A = this chain, B = another copy of it.
Amino acid sequence: MPFVNIKITNEGVTPEKKEQLISGATQLLVDVLGKNPKTTVVIIDEVDTDNWGLGGESVSTRRKRGD
C-alpha cells in the first residue's frame, strides 16, 4: 500500500532502468517495513532539464556550463 514517487531529469532513462527503480523501491519497503509488494505503487516522473532548477538555475543551463 505504500506509494513512492521518484522524480528524475528526463535524460534517456531506459525501460530496463525504470524496471530496476520500480523493483528496488518496492523491495526497500518490503525489507524495511514489511509492506505488501502487491499493493505498493511506484511512479517515476521524468522532468525536462529546462523545468528542473538547482542552485537558482535550470539543469539545462548547468549542463551547458559543464556542471
Contacts and interface: CB of A to CB of B under 8 A. Distances in A.
B57 A23 contact: yes
B53 A26 contact: yes
- Contact-size category for A: 35 or more
Contact of A39 (B44, B51, B54, B60): B54
Given A27-B56, A55-B38, A61-B19, A43 B2 contact: no
A24 to B, nearest CB: 4
Interface of A: 1-9, 13, 15, 17-29, 31-33, 35, 37-47, 50-61
8 contacts: A1-B59, A4-B5, A21-B53, A22-B57, A23-B53, A25-B25, A26-B53, A46-B51
